[in-house]
A and B are shown apart, each in its own frame.
Chain A
Amino acid sequence: MQGFLDNLIRHFGHDPATWPWTQFVYLGGMALFAFAVINFAAITAGIFSWAERRVAARMQSRVGPNRVGPGGFLQWVADAVKLLTKEDLVPAEADKILFRAAPYFMMVGFACVFVALPFSHRLVIADMNIGIFFIIAVTALIVVGIIMSGWSSNSKWSLFGAIRSAAQIISYEIPGGIALMIPVMLAGTLSTQGIIRAQGGLPWQWFVFDNPAAFVAFVIYFISALAEGNRTPFDLPEAESELVSGYNTEYSGMRFSYFFLVEWGNMWVMSALATTMFLGGWQIPGVSAATLDAATGGTAVALELLSLAIFVGKTLFWVFVVMWLRWTLPRIRVDQMMNMCWKYLVPMSFAAVAFVAVWMLVVHAVPALGLVMRAIMFVLGVAFTVFFVYRTAQNIRDTGDKFDFTSNW
Chain B
Amino acid sequence: MAENVTLKPPSRQTPGAFGAYAKNIGDTAKSFFEGMSVTLSYMFRKPITTQYPDRVPVPVRDTIPPRYRGFLEVDMDICTACQACERACPIQVINIDILKGDGKTTPKLRMERFDIDIGKCMYCGLCVEPCPTGAIQHTREFEGSVQFFNNLVLRFVPDPLVPAVPYKPPKGSESFPRRPLGEITRRLIVAWDAPTPPFPTKEQLEADKPKGAEAKKGALDPAALGRQLAARALAAKEDKPKLQKVLEEAMAGTDCGDCGYPDCFGYSNAIAQGKDWAPDKCAPGGADSKAMLETIIVTLKTGVLPEQPAAPAPEGKAAVGAPAAAPEPAETQGPPLAQTLPKDELYKVVLDAMAGTDCGDCDYPDCDGYTKGIVYEGQKELDRCAPGGEDTKAKLYKIMLGTKPPAA
Residues of A within 8 A of B (CB): 55, 57-63, 66, 324-325, 327-329, 343-344, 388, 391-393, 395-396, 398, 401-405, 407-408
- Is the CB–CB distance between B1 and A395 below 8 Å? yes
Q: Which listed residue, B32, B42, B50, B55, touches A58 by the CB 8 Å rule? A: B42
Q: Are B25 and A344 in contact (CB under 8 A)?
A: yes
A391→B2 CA distance, assembly (Å): 12
From B25, B42, B51, name the one whose CB has the most chain A CB atoms within 10 angstroms. B42
**Do B38 and A395 have beta carbons less than 8 Å apart?**
yes
What separation, in Å, do the CA atoms of A30 and B218 have in the docked complex? 86
A312 to chain B, nearest CB (A): 21
Taking the complex as formed, is B33 at the interface, i.e. its CB lies under 8 A from any CB of chain A? yes
Cα of A55 to Cα of B40 in the assembled complex, Å:
10
A388 touches B42 (CB 8 A): no
10 residue pairs from A and B, CB less than 8 Å apart: A63-B47, A324-B36, A324-B39, A388-B36, A392-B40, A398-B1, A401-B45, A402-B45, A403-B45, A404-B44
Query: Which of B2, B25, B35, B44 contacts A396, CB < 8 Å?
Result: B44
Q: Is the CB of A405 within 8 A of B44?
A: yes
Contacts of A325 in B (CB 8 A): 36
For A61, what are the chain B residues with a Cβ–Cβ distance below 8 Å? 42, 45, 47-49
Q: Which residue of A lies closest to B55 (CB)?
A: A408
Contact A396 B47 (CB under 8 A): no
Interface residues of chain B, those whose CB is within 8 Å of chain A, are 1-2, 21, 24-25, 32-51, 55
Instruction: Give Cα A401–Cα B45 distance, bound, in whole angstroms.
Output: 7
Cβ distance B47 to chain A, nearest Cβ, rounded Å: 5
Name A63's contact: one of B25, B40, B44, B49 (CB within 8 Å).
B49
Taking CB atoms, residues of chain B closer than 8 Å to A55 are: 43
Residues of A within 8 A of B39 (CB): 59, 324, 327-328
Assembly CA distance A63 to B56 (angstroms) = 13
Measured CA separation A55–B42 after assembly (Å): 10
Using A324-B36, A344-B25, A388-B33 as known contacts, say yes or no to A408 and B43 having CB atoms under 8 A apart: no
Q: Tell me whether A388 and B37 are in contact in the complex, defined as CB-CB below 8 angstroms, given that A58-B42, A58-B43, A398-B1 are known contacts.
A: yes
Separation in Å of the B38 CB from the closest CB of chain A? Answer: 6
Q: Which residues of B contact A404 (CB under 8 A)?
A: 44-46
Residue of B nearest to A404 (CB): B46
Which single residue of chain B is at the shortest CB-CB distance from A219?
A: B29
Q: B50's closest neighbor in chain A, by CB?
A: A408
Task: Check B45–A392 contact: CB distance below 8 A.
Answer: no
A328/B35 in contact, CB under 8 A: yes
Set of chain A residues within 8 Å of B21, measured between Cβ atoms: 343-344
* C-alpha spacing A71/B279, complex, angstroms: 70
Residue in contact with B51 in the complex, picked from A63, A392, A396, CB distance below 8 Å: A63
The 6 closest A-B pairs by CB, nearest first: A395-B41, A404-B46, A391-B37, A328-B39, A392-B37, A328-B35
Bound-state Cα–Cα, A66 to B47, Å:
13
Contacts of B49 in A (CB 8 A): 61-63
Known: A395-B1, A395-B41. A62 touches B36 (CB 8 A): no
